[in-house]
Structures are given as C-alpha cells and as structure tokens.
C-alpha cells in the first residue's frame, strides 16, 4: 500500500527543563498511508507533532519531508509545503463565521498559488471555495451551520473545521491530533468515513488517537510512545499483543492487568 | 369591512430582518425604508463632520476641530490594532512625533512643498515606525504596549540630549496651509476616508487574516501565514494614520517639537476608544471629537477642569464600559416596524 516515504523522522529529542519529553523517536510514513501514534497521557505524542510542524524547536533530530530537510523551519513555511496539522484543543477564529474561518488558510501563499488572486481560480472567490470545502467535510451547505460564528458551533463541527483548515491548504499530509476525542459515538461514526475518504483522495494521514477501535479501522500501522520513547511499531493487532504496550496502557501492576482482562 | 381589518394580524419585526439575510455579510435591500435604514446613520456622520468647521464659532474652535481630527486618526489606528489585530499600542505619540518631525525636516531642510511632505511623511513615518517596532512584533498584550510606550519617551530624550532637530526649541519655520478652509476640510475628508477604508479593510480577505491573528495566532501559523508579516502590515497601516496626523499637526502649527512625543497622543485615543466603543471604528472617532471639544470647553473652569474630565471618564467606564457606539448599534439593530401577517 505504501510507496515511497513521504515523512522520515529520525532521532527527535526534546526536553522541557528536566523532563525528557521525547527521546530518539524515529519513524517513517509512506505515501498515502494512515499511520497511527498511540500512547498513554503525557507520552509525548502532541510534542512530537509540535516538533515536526515547527511549533516547538526540537533539541536534536531530523525531519525529512518529501526528501527535503524541514527541521528548524517556521510553522508557516512547513504548512506552505503541504504538511498540515490539526490542534487537539481546537483553534478556530471564534469571532468569525465558520466559512470565514477558512478564508485565512485560503489566503496563504500555497493556496493562492493554485487559486489565483480571487482564491478559487475558476471556482469563484474564497467564500465560495470555503463553502465547498465545508460541505465536503460535513457542514450542510444549505443550512445555517457554515454561516454561524465559530464560537457558537459544537465540538463536532469545530473538529471538522480543524480538518477543513488543513484541506484548504491542499495538503499532501495531515497530522491529526486526536480528531475523535471529545466526540459522541454518533459523531465519531460519521467522522470515520470522512477519514477514509481523505485517504482515498491520496492524502497521507498521521493520527494521534486514544479511540483505538476507530483508529485501527483506518490505520495500517501504529507506533506506541511511552514516556517520550518509542516502544514499538507495527500493524495494530501485533502491537496490542505486545507485553510492553499492555503494561504502558494498563499499568505495571499485575492486579490491574488482571482486572482489565477480566 | 371594519371586521375584516380587525382580523388582519399585525406583528412587530426588526427593520434589519430583510437586510440581514442569514449573515452579517449578505445584504438584500428591498425598500426605501431599508435603504434609509442603512444610509441614514452614515449620512448623519458625514454631514455632521463636514458641518463642524462651519458651525465652529471662532477660529479657535475651528482649530480645535482640526486637532480633534488628528486625534481621531490616532484613535482609528488604535482601535484597528487593538480590536482587529490584537496589538494594544500605546504608540500614538510615537507615530505623531515621527510623522511630525519627518514632515518638518522635509519641508525646512529640503524645501519640499506641503503637498509632497504630508504624503511622504505618511509613508516614510509609517516605514520608520514599522521598522523600529519590528523587534517587538512577537510580543503580545501588555508587553507590546510597554515597548510602544517607551519609544516616544526615548526619542524625546534623545532629541533633547543630542540637541538634534532643533533640540528643545524644535523645528521652526514649517510652511503653513495656503488657506484655512483647506486646513480645516482636508483633515475632515481624511478622517472620513480613513474610517470607511478601515471598515472595508477589516471585512476583506486580508482583514479576516488580521482578525485571525487576533483570535488565534497559532492557527494562522498553521494556515501557512506568517503572523509577523501581517502584524507588520497592520502596524504600517496604523502608524501611517498616526504619521499623517503628525505631519498635519506640524503644518498646522508651522512648528515641530518634542511635545509631539507627549503622552497625550497615546492616552486620549485610548480614552476615546473606551468612551466610543472599541471594535466599532466609528466609536473611537466620535469619542475623540467629544473628548477634545469637551476638554477645551472645560477650560472655563480653570483648575477644576481635570476634575470634571476625570469624573466624566470614570462615569463612562463604570456605567457604559462597552462604549456608547456598541450600545447605540445594538439598539439601532433592534428598531422594529409593524408588518401585516
């Protein structure tokens, strides 16, 4: 399924003061793949994404994206190369309507390169394009929802808005930081096909997730982090059989382990 | 017949219902009443400002109107930066001083006429201010405010200590306006133009980027846009307005001096924004005209002037802290009419 590696991360280290948040984390993501990153709370998953996308300067290590070195670049430069991310805590522009939220990414150099000065090329202006993207991501076109202020939208729509911001940049790869968290079961059920559709469109996805069942439906490989270190990597079924992974997730005490299995 | 009329039900409806279809941005005007509803407030503002120099009883009050216009430019810049870009700037004095000195130097040393010095001081002053503020752009909130406050104080003392640009005497012999009507009306036209230009700008695509920077700068970076670039553009616009005011001030007084770096220029626009209503752009403008005229009128009371001034400011902040125009706009949107059902 995976062809060439689109993203190569080698020996990324990051410490905050005395806390080693990441220690020699390395992984590769193939073109068109859905790659999962899992791990208990505080294991450094979000820090890893922050390091890759340039929001945090890593102490050492190297990130190759489409065979070019992007370590140390500014977040906006990285986003302009087509490597986009969502935020775990949604970051919409609360004082703007949902469709105007998307005009900001559509104004970026990357979007303007394909869209011309109006933003949408033949498709129209930026407002038209943003409504199209919102419809694609699950905002009903003829309802009030795309026109509502982002501050009045529920979590489910805000999570979609995060994905829409990435899509507006016409990304090659999206790093999703917990897109399923905080959603109800039915909202998750409607998000999963969306993720599958993105993958079919040829977009590579790296997903940080706590909802393992949904993640394993879409991910072809997963990596497990614990206390900033990579425990293991492989196909989901094998990884979950790993003793170290069980220990990391369920605690090291045998008693706890027993309770959860029963 | 009378029975028939009584069966027709009537209900009240907001006038802007037809105007605001779903969003703030889409207009569908369908009657003269609605046209009037949209045009009237703007017309009253424009006509009112244009009448100001005519209604002013003496040359003194006409001059006050021009000074109020200069403060209004600063207040527009402050409101734009604070409520649409998220940069709280105390740099009014900085912008005025740089613009004023630039215009005065261009006029006295190079002998350029007024029609060239004012535009050149506007653009040149904006470039100087933006370049000097560039290192402070990553700062947010009160930290940016402190840096912008320090610049005018530092520049004032540098001019004094090094005795450059005329030292404490300032630059004398700056050319005045050819005609007092030009002097009075040019600033009014500039203020009106700046108000409507800024109101349009904040709703354009680039304006949405500015507002994005205010709401969530990390998301703007994740959208592939450099926040430093857009903050710099915004500072350029605001400092350009301030420098324009400074250049105008130099030509009105035919003099430029270190009092142009005085803190009045930083503080009064902020007070005007509080009174007028931040985020409305028109509020700070009206606030400036009110404050400047009110403070001049209070001169009759001598020493008690500052007491009255402080009391009225405190009253506004305590009882109408969101500003007059925010309140007025809300009430205006609630006007209702009777419609047949």
Asked if residue B204 lies in contact with residue B197, where contact means CB atoms within 8 angstroms, the answer is: no
| Best B201, B213, B223 residue to mutate vs chain A (most A CBs within 10 Å) | B223
Quote the CA–CA distance of B70 and B111 in Å, as a whole number.
24
Q: What is the tens place of the pLDDT at every residue in A200-228?
A: 999 999 999 888 888 988 999 999 999 99
In a domain, B112, yes or no: yes
Average pLDDT, chain A: 87
Q: In this complex, do A104 and B220 lie within 8 Å of one another by their Cβ atoms?
A: yes
Task: Please give the C-alpha separations between residue A64 and each of A21, A68, A172, A232, in angstroms, as whole numbers.
Answer: 21, 5, 14, 21
In a domain, B141, yes or no: yes
In a domain, B6, yes or no: no
Specify the range with the lowest mean pLDDT, choosing from A121-135, A232-246, B98-112, B188-202.
A121-135
Q: Which domain holds residue B182?
A: 58-335
Residue B301: what pLDDT? Answer: 85
In a domain, B288, yes or no: yes
Rounded to a whole number of angstroms, the distance from the CA of B4 to the nearest CA of chain A is 38
Burial of residue B188 (CB within 10 Å: 0-12, 13-18, 19+) is buried
In a domain, B52, yes or no: no
DSSP letters for B199-222: HHHTTSHHHHHHHHHHH-HHHHHH
Give B134's DSSP letter: G
Query: Tokens for B25?
Result: 């941005």
In a domain, B53, yes or no: no
Give chain A's domains with CATH numbers. 5-89+172-261 (3.40.50.300), 93-152 (no CATH)
In a domain, B15, yes or no: no
Q: Which residues pair with A69 in a beta bridge?
A: A64
Asked if residue A35 lies in contact with residue A8, where contact means CB atoms within 8 angstroms, the answer is: no
Provide the pLDDT confidence category of residue A175 given band limits of 50, 70 and 90: very high
Residue A112: what pLDDT? Answer: 86
pLDDT at position B69 over 80:
yes
State the total domains in chain B: 1
Residue among B206, B208, B225 whose CB faces A96 most closely: B208
Q: Which residue of A has its CA nearest to B215?
A: A93
Specify the range with the lowest mean pLDDT, choosing from A106-120, A206-220, B46-60, B85-99.
A106-120
In a domain, B295, yes or no: yes
Residue B29: what pLDDT? Answer: 65
Q: Does B212 touch chain A (CB under 8 A)?
A: yes
Quote the CA–CA distance of A156 and A162 in Å, as a whole number.
10
Which CATH number is B80's domain given? 1.10.3470
Q: Dihedrals φ, ψ of B208, to 5°? A: -65, -35
> What is this model's ipTM?
0.88
| Best A77, A88, A107, A150 residue to mutate vs chain B (most B CBs within 10 Å) | A107
Residue A119: what pLDDT? Answer: 61
């Amino acid at each position: 399924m995976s062809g060439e590696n689109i993203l190569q991360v080698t020996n990324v280290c990051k410490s905050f003061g005395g806390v080693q948040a990441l220690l020699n984390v390395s992984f590769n993501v193939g073109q068109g793949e859905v790659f999962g990153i899992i791990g208990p709370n505080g294991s450094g998953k979000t820090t890893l994404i922050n390091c890759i996308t340039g929001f945090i300067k890593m102490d050492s290590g190297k990130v190759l994206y489409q065979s070019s070195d992007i370590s140390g670049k500014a977040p906006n430069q990285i986003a302009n190369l087509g490597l986009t991310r969502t935020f775990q805590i949604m970051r919409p522009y609360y004082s703007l309507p949902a469709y105007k939220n998307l005009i900001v990414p559509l104004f970026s150099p990357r979007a303007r390169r394909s869209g011309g000065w109006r933003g949408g090329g033949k498709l129209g202006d930026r407002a038209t394009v943003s409504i199209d993207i919102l419809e694609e991501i699950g905002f009903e076109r003829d309802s009030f929802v795309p026109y509502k202020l982002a501050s009045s939208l529920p979590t489910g729509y805000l999570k979609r808005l995060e994905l829409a911001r990435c899509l507006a940049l016409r990304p090659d790869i999206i790093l999703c930081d917990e897109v399923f968290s905080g959603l109800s079961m039915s909202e998750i059920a409607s998000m999963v096909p969306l993720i599958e559709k993105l993958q079919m469109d040829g977009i590579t996805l790296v997903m940080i997730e706590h909802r393992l069942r949904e993640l394993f439906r879409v991910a072809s490989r997963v990596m497990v982090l614990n206390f900033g270190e990579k425990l293991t990597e492989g196909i989901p079924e094998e990884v979950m059989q790993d003793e170290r992974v069980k220990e990391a997730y369920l605690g090291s005490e045998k008693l706890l382990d027993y309770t959860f299995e029963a | 017949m009378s029975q028939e009329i009584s069966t027709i039900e009537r209900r009240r409806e907001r006038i802007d219902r037809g105007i605001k279809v779903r969003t703030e941005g889409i207009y569908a005007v369908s009657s003269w009443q609605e046209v009037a509803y949209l045009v009237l407030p703007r017309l009253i503002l424009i006509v009112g400002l244009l009448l100001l120099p005519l209604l002013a009883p003496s040359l003194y009050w006409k001059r006050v109107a021009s000074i109020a216009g200069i403060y209004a430019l600063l207040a527009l810049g402050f409101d734009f930066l604070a409520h649409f870009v998220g940069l709280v700037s105390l740099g009014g004095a900085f912008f005025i001083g740089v613009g004023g000195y630039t215009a005065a130097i261009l006029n006295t040393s190079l002998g350029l006429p007024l029609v060239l010095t004012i535009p050149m001081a506007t653009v040149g002053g904006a470039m100087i201010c933006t370049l000097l503020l560039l290192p402070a752009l990553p700062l947010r909130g009160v930290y940016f405010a402190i840096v912008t406050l320090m610049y005018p104080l530092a520049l004032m003392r540098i001019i004094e200590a090094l005795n450059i640009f005329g030292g404490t005497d300032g630059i004398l012999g700056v050319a005045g306006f050819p005609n007092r009507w030009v002097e009075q009306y040019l600033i009014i036209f500039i203020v009106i133009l700046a108000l409507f230009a800024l109101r349009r700008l904040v709703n354009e695509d680039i304006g949405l980027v500015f507002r994005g920077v205010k709401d969530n700068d990390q998301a703007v970076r994740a959208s592939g846009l450099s926040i430093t670039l857009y903050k710099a553009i915004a500072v350029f616009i605001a400092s350009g307005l301030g420098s324009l005011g400074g250049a105008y001030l130099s030509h009105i007084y035919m003099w430029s001096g270190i009092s142009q770096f005085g803190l009045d220029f930083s503080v009064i626009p902020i007070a005007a924004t509080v009174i007028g209503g931040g985020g409305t752009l028109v509020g700070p403008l009206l606030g400036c005209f009110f404050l400047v005229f009110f403070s001049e009128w209070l001169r009759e009371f001598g020493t008690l002037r500052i007491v009255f001034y402080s009391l009225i400011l405190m009253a506004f902040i305590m009882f109408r802290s969101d500003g007059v125009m925010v309140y007025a706009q809300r009430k205006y949107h609630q006007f209702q009419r009777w419609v047949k059902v």
